[in-house]
């Protein structure tokens, strides 16, 4: 620096010195921004409460239900709320004179349990194949993707009907069928996320470092795919609940006398003509559970700037 | 600017803009800013990122980014307060009275609609012009902006024109509706120097001809010096200093302004860099690339489908910094990617200390991978957002050197200190660091491998000038301390000149000149090197006009890059090209003292005495100009 410039500098030393000091200080150590916490809106909070409520019911249902799901202790079928010597029927009785209230509590375990098992299965299959397709590319990707397209091309209910016609209906078969059918949509999301992440610079950095494929998947791809996939898990669960309920409604899902929300709606449809609410209550249970999950997913997506919501579509 | 009209167009009075955090606490972003814009005047808002310059410029459109709020003051446009105007009126103002030019033209244009439609859309929508009038005016603007084929460019699609042309077309889009005020947000920041100069020239001309006022937002004082009449220096949402361009540039009074001026990149001249000590000297170069051709697509007979680099030979000596320079698309990054084994070469060899390396990194040994480390350009995407700094830095230590537990932790702390960051950072996530700090972590990860060669791909390009300068300082210190060789890729000649020991100038995938920094930056130059050097803006009012006087500039920036397999790639932009020779044969490599090489058909004497050729150039240029004016076919 020349001398004249230096003089100029000294002359103006006073002006703005505090700004420069501030700048220098910032260079050294800025404070870490506060960790962002996920805050749900009041709708989100209510929805969470509803979901937690149903999950708790599913877990402890048989211990708190006033009747067993198969007890035909009511005075008659399609009665309104009443009491007799066996106990109180809070929501009335169904077409066989069973307690609707108890059957909904028992049914929660069946409906939520099967759906959860199917969704987890769908995720295991979908993520494994999706990430494999994204990472390997080429023929592996081509092969899996085309088979997946074929599954996606068929309506899921039709596919379910055919599979049940072939293998018969039992709970393990239901779980496996729903798991495979819904794995196809999980596959698409996992593959898209995987492709997205695989071209990120940090993955390329790992490749340049000489990292193995498994390490890249485990340490770079999965942690970054986890959050969007977790959000999608909620939505997928809803679809599976509806799918299982639809199958049950058609009489192909959970078989009587076991209680399940979908089959309860079908069994009691005839009661609607007698002014009975027996078909409405299980439908209401399905609605509250699925809508609440949907709202939670929406809330989380909105909070994360909509970026998740975009990936879901 | 002009004396006849000193009418106030915009008055910004005590403007305050705030954001609110999760706890509903007010955070002031703009803290009482006052300035005026007169008709026909260009006002520059200058400051680092986070100084509120874009926020203030958007206030003239009565717009804030989501989450921000106007909390005080007023913005008067022709005496009307735009902040309190009803929404309908605000919509009229936007586009009709005030036009906004975003930083990235490529992101602004819709790729599915022709340029002409997009340029005229706003003027027609606001009912200022009919479609015919608007199209006519757009064509006039294309002429004024010196776009090629001005009568026909309107029917093209955005991907059919170059980046610099798009940037100018965006100015046409803004000016089409004859706005009172244009807001230009860093319009040249993302451009190469040669493109920047062409865009600046066009902007300046059209602003003068249209006599419109403008707010020019940038962090680059050298650019501001060329275009602004009035300069407002901002820091942290407050005005540090404002005054005429002449006063701010030549006589700044505020310490912060001087700090900004210090960060302006100096003119690339010989003698800026520091020479390396002898202690790291070795016989064999750390990495050498010999006669290498590389590109994308299938390889047939050593020729890839799309050739990016052709017959490139570069030696990286131990503990030396080799700067690779060239415009975007010239193959700079590809060179580093071939060295790192990300892209296997089609022909030629890559050697690490006399050991020939396999083309693909999958076939290279772990030890070889460890010795060549790649630093990615964007620290934002190069660091896994889900890993803490200690995980990011710890992985190479564990992977290459098998360090675990306490040993690893101690080494992470040591590496953090090496890049001048506090050890507390180890537990943070990349999101919790500033841009410059992330870039330091990005480099630290590569250093953790204890490499021989560090390939740095544009590591300072995404950073503010002050932050970037600090990173360069750090790199210089690291080289002296560790004896690591650097391949430093940049499109910014000044940065390279201040840091590199040797410079490789790439043009259209070929080395046109290479040698020690001081030799390359002194005559004789390759004609392209000269074009590059004279395109770097100087912090001096009137520099742009002076530079445009030079004929070689006019030839060089009027034309785009053409990638050719035959002849000299620079021929179509070269003011000294020899017809029949330069366009037919590949240029010979001319050796000068000190390992300085120039690849040119002209002899060293010719290049040394470049002035002699100016006459020749003139004839050549006229011919070129004629040809370029005629539409094809």
Q: At what angle do helices A222-249 and A156-167 cross, to 10 degrees?
A: 70
Same domain, B312 and B357: yes
Q: Which of A2, A13, A15 to mutate to test the interface with B (most CBs of B within 10 A)?
A: A15
Instruction: Give the C-alpha separation, B621 to B555, whole Å.
Output: 6
DSSP H stretches of helix in A96-155 = 100-136, 138-153
Same domain, B551 and B506: no
**What's the pLDDT score for residue B1?**
44
Same domain, B287 and B418: yes
All residues of chain B having their beta carbon less than 8 Å from the beta carbon of residue A202 are: 381-384
Chain B: nearest CA to A216, how far in angstroms?
11
A38 in a structural domain: no
Least confident residue range of A164-173, B3-12, B63-72: B3-12
Residue whose tokens read 């366009």? B583
Same domain, B245 and B319: no
B563 in a structural domain: yes
**SS3 state at B600:** coil
All residues of chain A having their beta carbon less than 8 Å from the beta carbon of residue B252 are: 12
**What's the pLDDT score for residue B232?**
93
Chain B: nearest CA to A201, how far in angstroms?
4
Cα four-point dihedral sign A50, A52, A55, A59 = negative
Q: Read off the pLDDT of residues B609-618 as tens digits, 9 standing for 90 and up.
A: 764 554 444 4
Chain A: nearest CA to B378, how far in angstroms?
8
Q: Read off the pLDDT of residues B507-556 as tens digits, 9 standing for 90 and up.
A: 888 899 998 888 888 878 888 888 888 888 888 888 888 777 775 566 66
**What's the pLDDT score for residue B45?**
92
B65 in a structural domain: yes
Residue B395 banded pLDDT, cuts 50, 70, 90: very high
User: How far from A29 is each of A19, B29, B255, B416, B447, CA to CA, in Å?
Assistant: 16, 21, 22, 13, 22
Cβ contact, residue pair B399, A211, below 8 Å? yes
Q: Read off the pLDDT of residues A206-253 as tens digits, 9 standing for 90 and up.
A: 988 988 889 999 899 998 888 888 888 888 888 898 898 888 888 888
**What's the pLDDT score for residue A108?**
92
Cβ contact, residue pair B396, A209, below 8 Å? yes
CA closest to A35 among chain B residues? B432
Residues from A in contact with B at Cβ < 8 Å: 9, 12-13, 15-17, 19-20, 22-23, 27-30, 32-33, 39, 200-202, 204-205, 207-211, 219-220, 223-224
Assigned token pair, B589: 């490599």
Residues from B in contact with A at Cβ < 8 Å: 22, 235-236, 240-241, 252-259, 340-342, 361, 364, 366, 369-370, 373-374, 376-378, 381-387, 395-396, 399, 422, 424, 428, 431-432, 434, 445, 449, 470
**Residue B472 near residue B490, CB atoms below 8 Å:** no
CA closest to B241 among chain A residues? A16
B487 Cβ contact partners less than 8 Å away, ≥ 6 residues apart: B287, B316, B322, B324, B335, B336, B339, B453, B454, B455, B456
Question: Which of B263, B291, B309 lies at the terminal end of a domain, its last residue?
Answer: B263
Candidates A28, A202, A219; nearest CB to B381: A202
B613 in a structural domain: yes
Q: If you average pLDDT over residues B223-241, what whole number do you get?
A: 88
Cβ contact, residue pair B256, A211, below 8 Å? no
Cβ contact, residue pair A210, B369, below 8 Å? yes
* Dihedral of the alpha carbons of A278, A284, A285, A288, in degrees to the nearest 10: -170
CATH of the domain at B85: 3.40.50.300
A212 in a structural domain: yes
**What's the pLDDT score for residue B487?**
92
CA closest to B429 among chain A residues? A32
Q: If you average pLDDT over residues B179-203, what whole number do you get?
A: 83
DSSP B506-536: EETTEEEEEEEHHHHTSSS--HHHHHHHHHS
Cβ contact, residue pair B240, A19, below 8 Å? yes
Q: Read off the pLDDT of residues B312-366 as tens digits, 9 standing for 90 and up.
A: 999 888 888 899 998 877 888 889 989 998 888 888 899 888 888 888 888 888 8
CATH of the domain at A259: 1.10.3720.10
Shortest CA distance to B458 belongs to which of B334, B296, B352? B334
Taking residue B69's Cβ as centre, other Cβ atoms within 10 Å add up to: 12
Shortest CA distance to B349 belongs to which of B402, B390, B294? B294
Tell me the backbone φ, ψ of residue B463, rounded to 5 degrees: -105, 155
All residues of chain A having their beta carbon less than 8 Å from the beta carbon of residue B376 are: 201, 204-205
Instruction: Give the C-alpha separation, B28 to B236, whole Å.
Output: 9
Q: If you average pLDDT over residues B185-198, what whole number do you get?
A: 80
Q: At what angle do helices A100-136 and A138-153 cross, to 10 degrees?
A: 150
**What's the pLDDT score for residue B2?**
44
Q: Which of A9, A13, A16, A229 to mutate to test the interface with B (most CBs of B within 10 A)?
A: A16
Residue B194 banded pLDDT, cuts 50, 70, 90: confident
All residues of chain B having their beta carbon less than 8 Å from the beta carbon of residue A219 are: 384, 387, 395
Q: What count of residues does chain A have? A: 313
Q: Which of B48, B386, B421 to mutate to test the interface with A (most CBs of A within 10 A)?
A: B386
Classify residue B202 as exposed, middle or buried by CB count within 10 Å of its CB (0-12, 13-18, 19+).
buried
**What's the pLDDT score for residue A308?**
46
Instruction: Give the C-alpha separation, B83 to B75, whole Å.
Output: 6
Q: Read off the pLDDT of residues B260-279 as tens digits, 9 standing for 90 and up.
A: 887 676 666 665 555 555 55
All residues of chain B having their beta carbon less than 8 Å from the beta carbon of residue A20 are: 255-256, 259
Classify residue B562 as exposed, middle or buried by CB count within 10 Å of its CB (0-12, 13-18, 19+).
exposed
Classify residue A7 as exposed, middle or buried by CB count within 10 Å of its CB (0-12, 13-18, 19+).
exposed
All residues of chain B having their beta carbon less than 8 Å from the beta carbon of residue A209 are: 369, 395-396, 399, 449
Please state whether the predicted TM-score (pTM) of the whole model is above 0.90: no
Same domain, B501 and B420: yes
The answer, yes or no, to whether the previous bond of A257 is cis (omega within 30 of 0) is yes
Q: Read off the pLDDT of residues A48-106 as tens digits, 9 standing for 90 and up.
A: 999 999 999 999 988 888 888 888 877 788 888 777 878 888 888 888 888 889 999 99
Cβ contact, residue pair A209, B253, below 8 Å? no
Cα four-point dihedral sign B186, B29, B174, B210 = negative
Same domain, B184 and B253: yes
Classify residue A177 as exposed, middle or buried by CB count within 10 Å of its CB (0-12, 13-18, 19+).
buried
- Using the predicted structure, report yes or no on whether residue A169 has a pLDDT greater than 90: no
Cβ contact, residue pair B361, A17, below 8 Å? no
Same domain, B253 and B395: no
Q: If you average pLDDT over residues B387-395, what whole number do you get?
A: 92
User: How far from B468 is each of A5, B263, B464, CA to CA, in Å?
Assistant: 23, 9, 6
**For residues B286 and B410, which has the higher predicted lDDT (pLDDT)?**
B410
Q: Read off the pLDDT of residues B83-128 as tens digits, 9 standing for 90 and up.
A: 888 888 888 888 788 988 887 777 888 888 999 999 998 889 888 8
Cβ contact, residue pair B256, A19, below 8 Å? yes
Q: Which of B249, B373, B384, B395 to mutate to test the interface with A (most CBs of A within 10 A)?
A: B384
Cβ contact, residue pair B384, A16, below 8 Å? no
Candidates A15, A205, A210; nearest CB to B376: A205
**What's the pLDDT score for residue A191?**
94
Q: Which of B1-15, B136-150, B555-569 has the highest mean pLDDT?
A: B136-150
**Residue B486 near residue B453, CB atoms below 8 Å:** yes
**For residues B248 and B20, which has the higher predicted lDDT (pLDDT)?**
B248
Mean pLDDT of all residues belonging to chain A: 82
Same domain, B497 and B584: no
Residue B602 banded pLDDT, cuts 50, 70, 90: confident
- Using the predicted structure, report yes or no on whether residue B59 has a pLDDT greater than 50: yes
Q: What count of residues does chain B have? A: 633
B362 in a structural domain: yes
Cβ contact, residue pair B255, A32, below 8 Å? no
A227 in a structural domain: yes
Chain B: nearest CA to A1, how far in angstroms?
10
The answer, yes or no, to whether the previous bond of B524 is cis (omega within 30 of 0) is yes
DSSP A202-266: HHHHHHHHT--HHHIIIIIIHHHHHHHHHHHHHHHHHHHHHHHHHHHHTTSSSPTTS--HHHHHH
A2 in a structural domain: no
Shortest CA distance to B11 belongs to which of B57, B54, B75? B75
Question: Which of B520, B549, B575 lies at the terminal end of a domain, its last residue?
Answer: B520
Residue A31 banded pLDDT, cuts 50, 70, 90: low
Q: If you average pLDDT over residues A20-49, what whole number do you get?
A: 66
Classify residue A307 as exposed, middle or buried by CB count within 10 Å of its CB (0-12, 13-18, 19+).
exposed
Residue B632 banded pLDDT, cuts 50, 70, 90: very low
Residue A177 banded pLDDT, cuts 50, 70, 90: very high
Question: Which one-letter DSSP state was computed for residue B212?
Answer: -
**What's the pLDDT score for residue A1?**
38
Residue whose tokens read 């012009």? B129
Domain range enclosing A158: 55-312
Chain A: nearest CA to B185, how far in angstroms?
24
% of residues, chain B, pLDDT over 70:
89
Tell me the backbone φ, ψ of residue B539, rounded to 5 degrees: -80, 70
Cβ contact, residue pair A19, B235, below 8 Å? yes
**What's the pLDDT score for residue A18?**
67
Same domain, B196 and B235: yes
First to last CA, chain B: 44
Mean pLDDT of all residues belonging to chain B: 82
* Dihedral of the alpha carbons of B620, B622, B626, B629, in degrees to the nearest 10: 110
CA closest to A19 among chain B residues? B256
**SS3 state at B292:** strand
Same domain, B119 and B257: yes
Indicate the number of domains in chain A.
1
B163 Cβ contact partners less than 8 Å away, ≥ 6 residues apart: B105, B106, B190, B191, B195, B328
User: B40 - beta bridge partners?
Assistant: none
Shortest CA distance to B457 belongs to which of B376, B338, B372, B369? B376
Cβ contact, residue pair A223, B387, below 8 Å? yes
Residue B54 banded pLDDT, cuts 50, 70, 90: confident
Taking residue A242's Cβ as centre, other Cβ atoms within 10 Å add up to: 17
Residue A24 banded pLDDT, cuts 50, 70, 90: low
B107 in a structural domain: yes
**What's the pLDDT score for residue B202?**
81
Cβ contact, residue pair A15, B255, below 8 Å? yes
**Residue B141 near residue B206, CB atoms below 8 Å:** yes
- Using the predicted structure, report yes or no on whether residue A289 has a pLDDT greater than 60: yes
A36 in a structural domain: no
A270 in a structural domain: yes
3-state helix, strand, coil in chain A (%, to 5): 70, 5, 25
**What's the pLDDT score for residue A4?**
43
Same domain, B403 and B508: yes
Cβ contact, residue pair B340, A208, below 8 Å? yes
Instruction: Give the C-alpha separation, B248 to B225, whole Å.
Output: 9
Cβ contact, residue pair B256, A16, below 8 Å? yes
% of residues, chain B, pLDDT over 90:
14
CB pairs under 8 A between A and B: 85
Same domain, B203 and B333: no
B187 Cβ contact partners less than 8 Å away, ≥ 6 residues apart: B101, B103, B167, B170, B171, B199, B203, B216
Cβ contact, residue pair B434, A30, below 8 Å? yes
B71 in a structural domain: yes
Q: Which long-range contacts (CB under 8 A, 24 or more apart) does B590-598 make?
A: B592/B515, B592/B519, B592/B524, B593/B519, B594/B515, B594/B516, B594/B519, B595/B515, B595/B516, B596/B513, B596/B514, B596/B515, B596/B516, B596/B519, B596/B520, B597/B511, B597/B513, B597/B514, B597/B515, B598/B512, B598/B513, B598/B524, B598/B525, B598/B526
Instruction: Give the C-alpha separation, A245 to A17, whole Å.
Output: 71
Chain B: nearest CA to A223, how far in angstroms?
6
**Residue A93 near residue A76, CB atoms below 8 Å:** yes
Domain range enclosing B584: 538-629
Instruction: Give the C-alpha separation, B567 to A79, whole Å.
Output: 96
B532 in a structural domain: no
Indicate the number of domains in chain B.
3
Chain B: nearest CA to A214, how far in angstroms?
14
CA closest to B361 among chain A residues? A208
Q: At what angle do helices B435-448 and B405-418 cross, to 10 degrees?
A: 130
Candidates A30, A39, A210; nearest CB to B361: A210
Candidates B256, B384, B449; nearest CB to A202: B384
B530 in a structural domain: no
Instruction: Give the C-alpha separation, A11 to B496, whole Å.
Output: 33
3-class SS letters over A88-103: EECCCECCCCCEHHHH
């Amino acid at each position: 620096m020349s001398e004249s410039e230096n003089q100029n500098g000294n002359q103006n030393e006073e002006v703005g010195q505090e700004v420069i000091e501030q700048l220098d200080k910032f260079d050294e150590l800025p404070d870490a921004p506060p960790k962002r916490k996920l805050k749900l809106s009041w709708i989100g909070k209510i929805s969470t409460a509803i979901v937690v409520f149903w999950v708790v019911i599913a877990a402890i249902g048989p211990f708190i239900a006033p009747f067993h799901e198969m007890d035909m202790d009511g005075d008659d079928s399609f009665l309104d709320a009443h009491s007799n010597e066996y106990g109180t029927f809070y929501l009335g009785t169904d077409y066989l004179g069973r307690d609707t209230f108890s059957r909904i509590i028992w049914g929660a375990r069946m409906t939520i349990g099967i759906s959860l098992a199917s969704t987890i299965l769908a995720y295991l299959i979908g993520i494994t194949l999706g990430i494999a397709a994204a990472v390997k590319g080429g023929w592996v990707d081509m092969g899996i993707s085309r088979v997946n397209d074929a599954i996606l091309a068929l309506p899921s209910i039709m596919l379910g009907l055919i599979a049940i016609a072939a293998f018969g209906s039992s709970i393990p078969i239901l779980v496996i069928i729903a798991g495979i059918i819904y794995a196809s949509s999980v596959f698409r999301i996992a593959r898209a996320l995987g492709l997205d992440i695989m071209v990120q610079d940090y993955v390329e950095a790992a490749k340049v470092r000489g990292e193995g494929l498994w390490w890249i998947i485990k340490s770079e791809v999965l942690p970054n795919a986890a959050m969007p996939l977790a959000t999608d898990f909620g939505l997928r669960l809803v679809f599976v609940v509806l799918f299982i309920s639809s199958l049950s409604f058609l009489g192909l899902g959970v078989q009587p006398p076991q209680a399940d929300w979908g089959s309860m709606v079908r069994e009691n449809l005839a009661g609607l003509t007698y002014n009975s609410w027996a078909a409405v209550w299980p439908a209401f249970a399905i609605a509250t559970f699925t809508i609440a999950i949907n709202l939670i997913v929406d809330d989380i997506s909105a909070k994360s700037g909509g970026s998740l919501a975009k990936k879901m579509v | 600017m002009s004396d006849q009209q000193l009418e106030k167009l915009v008055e910004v009075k005590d403007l305050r803009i705030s954001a609110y955090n999760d706890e509903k606490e007010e955070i002031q972003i703009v803290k009482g800013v006052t300035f005026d814009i007169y008709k026909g005047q260009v006002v520059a808002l200058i400051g680092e990122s986070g100084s509120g310059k874009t926020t203030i410029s958007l206030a003239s459109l009565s717009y804030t980014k989501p989450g921000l709020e106007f909390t005080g003051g007023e913005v008067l446009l022709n005496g009307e307060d735009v902040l309190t105007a009803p929404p309908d009126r605000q919509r009229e103002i936007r586009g009709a009275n005030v036009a906004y030019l975003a930083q990235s033209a490529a992101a602004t244009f819709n790729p599915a609609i022709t340029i002409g439609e997009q340029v005229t859309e706003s003027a027609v929508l606001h009912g200022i012009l009919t479609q015919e009038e608007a199209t006519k005016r757009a064509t006039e603007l294309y002429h004024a902006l010196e776009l090629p084929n001005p009568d026909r460019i309107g029917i093209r699609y955005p991907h059919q024109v170059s980046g610099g042309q798009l940037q100018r077309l965006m100015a046409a889009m803004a000016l089409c509706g004859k706005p009172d005020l244009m807001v230009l947000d860093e319009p040249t920041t993302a451009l190469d120097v040669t493109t920047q100069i062409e865009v600046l020239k066009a902007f300046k001309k059209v602003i003068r001809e249209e006599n419109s006022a403008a707010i020019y937002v940038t962090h680059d004082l050298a650019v501001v010096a060329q275009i602004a009449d009035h300069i407002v220096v901002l820091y942290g949402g407050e005005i540090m200093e404002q005054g005429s361009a002449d006063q701010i540039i030549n006589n700044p009074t505020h310490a912060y302004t001087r700090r900004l001026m210090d960060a302006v990149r100096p003119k690339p001249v010989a003698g800026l860099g520091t020479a390396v000590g002898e202690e790291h000297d070795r016989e064999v170069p750390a990495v050498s690339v010999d006669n290498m051709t590389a590109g994308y697509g299938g390889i047939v007979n050593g020729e890839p489908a799309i050739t990016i680099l052709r017959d490139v030979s570069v030696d990286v000596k131990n503990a030396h910094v080799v700067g690779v320079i060239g415009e975007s698309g010239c193959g700079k990054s590809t060179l580093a990617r071939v060295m790192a084994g990300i892209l296997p070469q089609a022909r030629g060899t890559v050697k690490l200390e006399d050991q020939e390396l396999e083309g693909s990194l999958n076939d290279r040994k772990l030890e070889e991978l460890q010795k060549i480390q790649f630093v990615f350009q964007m620290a934002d995407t190069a660091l896994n957002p889900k890993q803490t700094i200690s995980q990011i830095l710890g992985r190479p230590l564990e992977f290459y050197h098998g360090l675990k537990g306490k040993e690893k932790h101690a080494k992470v702390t040591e590496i953090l200190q090496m890049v001048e960051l506090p050890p507390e950072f180890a537990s943070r996530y990349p999101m919790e660091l500033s841009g410059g700090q992330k870039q330091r972590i990005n480099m630290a990860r590569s250093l953790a491998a204890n490499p021989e060669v560090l390939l740095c791909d544009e590591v300072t390009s995404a950073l503010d000038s002050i932050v970037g300068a600090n990173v360069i300082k750090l790199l210089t210190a690291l080289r002296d301390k560790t004896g690591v060789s650097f391949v430093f890729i940049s499109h910014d000649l000044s940065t390279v000149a201040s840091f590199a020991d040797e410079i490789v100038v790439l043009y259209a995938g070929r080395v046109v000149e290479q040698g020690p920094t001081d030799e390359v930056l002194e005559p004789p130059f390759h004609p392209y090197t000269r074009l590059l050097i004279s395109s770097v803006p100087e912090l001096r009012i009137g520099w742009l006009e002076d530079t445009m006087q030079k004929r070689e500039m006019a030839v060089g920036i009027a034309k785009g890059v053409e990638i050719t397999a035959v002849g000299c790639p620079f021929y179509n932009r070269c003011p000294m090209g020899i017809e029949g020779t330069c366009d037919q044969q590949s240029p010979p490599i001319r050796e000068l003292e000190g390992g300085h090489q120039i690849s040119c058909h002209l002899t060293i004497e010719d290049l040394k005495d470049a002035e002699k050729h100016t006459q020749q150039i003139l004839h050549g240029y006229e011919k070129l100009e004629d040809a370029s004016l005629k539409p094809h076919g």
